[in-house]
Structures are given as structure tokens and as C-alpha cells.
């Protein structure tokens, strides 16, 4: 059974990730979830626990556990998915900033771990050369990384453009196809 660590960051698309967790669990994957402080503004710990059958990890969680959580989670995961991935989180990963549990876990991942990033942001943020450069840096530093391209759609800012997180079915199929299982 593949072990998948899912990172949820602070974006309106975060609620969609609950369906991804449900689909992965239904199809035999073991999941654990990290929710950033910003992500907790969009989804609750209770919602994630109910669907994933595990309490999610948050930055506050580290205070109450004797394990070095980011190291343990990084070793545990065969696959890491960040959905949605904000421009902020992408920048942190690209530059090695480890100021929360999710970014620390990514930095501690073994090089063999597969990393999937499903960006979600405003079109201008997506098109910004800095964001595009950061995505290229991630591809260079993490050899087993895949960017699941955002789609064109109505964005939270009420504009239509590229930046909406890929459909959950697209994310799921990308992971399954690449890992030759289920």
C-alpha cells in the first residue's frame, strides 16, 4: 500500500482536497495530512480527521508530540501531494524555507520521494516570472517532482483565467498513472 502525505495550504481550493483524500483512501492508499495555519482557515481538522481517519498534522501539533514530526513524516511518505499549492508555499519549497511543518517536511524528504504540486492562485500570480522560476527550481532540486498544471476557470477574485487548481480527478489520475497502481 502506497503511503501518501497530503499538504493543504491556504487557498479557497483547499475544500476540494477533501475529495482527493476520500478517493485515495477508497482506493487503498494510506493517507496522512498536514494543514498549514492558512489552510486551517479553509478546512477544519475535524473534517480532515473524519475523511482520512487520522488526525491531521498542524504546526500546533508539534508542540504536543515527542517525535520530530517533520522527519518522521518525510520518512513515512512514498508520495507527497501539495493540493492546493499557493505561490507562497511554492516559493518556500523552491528556496528551502522551512518555517512550518509542511515546508520542513518537504525539505527533509528523501530524494526518492515523489512530489506532486497542484498550484492554485490568481492568474497574474501564476504567470509571474518569479512563480514560474520557482516551479523550475523545484523541478531541478526534486528529481521526482511533477507540477499538475492549474486550469482555466473562474477564480476566487471573480476573474476568469489560468490558476484554478486542477480537478481532483485529474490530480488522482496523474498520481495513479505515474505510480502504476490501482
131-178 pLDDT, tens digit per residue, is 999 999 999 999 999 999 999 998 888 999 999 999 999 999 999 988
Residues forming the active site = 157
Residues 160-167: contacts with CB under 8 Å, at least 24 apart? 161/122, 161/123, 161/126, 162/123, 162/126, 162/127, 163/119, 163/120, 163/121, 163/122, 163/123, 163/125, 163/126, 164/13, 164/120, 165/11, 165/13, 165/16, 165/83, 165/84, 165/118, 165/119, 165/120, 166/118
| Residue 122 CB-half CA count within 13 A | 8
* pTM for this prediction: 0.93
pLDDT tens digits, one per residue of 16-35:
999 999 999 999 999 999 99
How many angstroms separate the CA atoms of 116 and 86, rounded? 13
Domain boundaries of the chain, sorted by first residue:
3-180
Whole-number Å distance between alpha carbons of 82 and 8 = 6
* Residue % of the chain over a pLDDT of 70: 95
Q: Supply the CATH classification number for the domain 3-180.
A: 3.40.50.1950
Phi/psi of residue 61, nearest 5 degrees: -60, -35
Amino acid at each position: 500500500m502506497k503511503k501518501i502525505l497530503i499538504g493543504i495550504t491556504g487557498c479557497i481550493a483547499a475544500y476540494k482536497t477533501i475529495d482527493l483524500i476520500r478517493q485515495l483512501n477508497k482506493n487503498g492508499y494510506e493517507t496522512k495530512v498536514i494543514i498549514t495555519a492558512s489552510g486551517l482557515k479553509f478546512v477544519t481538522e475535524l473534517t480532515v480527521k473524519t475523511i482520512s481517519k487520522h488526525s491531521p498534522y498542524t504546526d500546533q501539533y508539534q508542540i504536543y508530540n515527542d517525535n520530530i514530526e517533520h522527519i518522521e513524516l518525510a520518512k513515512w511518505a512514498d508520495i507527497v501531494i501539495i493540493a492546493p499549492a499557493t505561490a507562497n508555499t511554492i516559493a518556500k519549497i523552491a528556496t528551502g524555507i522551512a518555517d512550518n511543518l509542511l515546508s520542513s517536511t518537504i525539505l527533509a524528504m528523501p530524494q526518492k520521494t515523489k512530489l506532486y504540486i497542484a498550484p492554485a492562485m490568481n492568474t497574474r500570480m501564476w504567470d509571474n516570472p518569479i512563480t514560474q522560476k520557482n516551479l523550475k527550481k523545484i523541478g531541478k532540486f526534486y528529481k521526482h517532482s511533477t507540477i499538475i498544471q492549474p486550469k482555466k476557470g473562474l477564480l476566487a477574485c471573480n476573474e476568469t483565467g489560468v490558476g484554478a487548481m486542477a480537478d481532483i480527478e485529474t490530480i488522482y489520475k496523474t498520481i495513479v498513472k505515474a505510480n502504476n497502481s490501482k
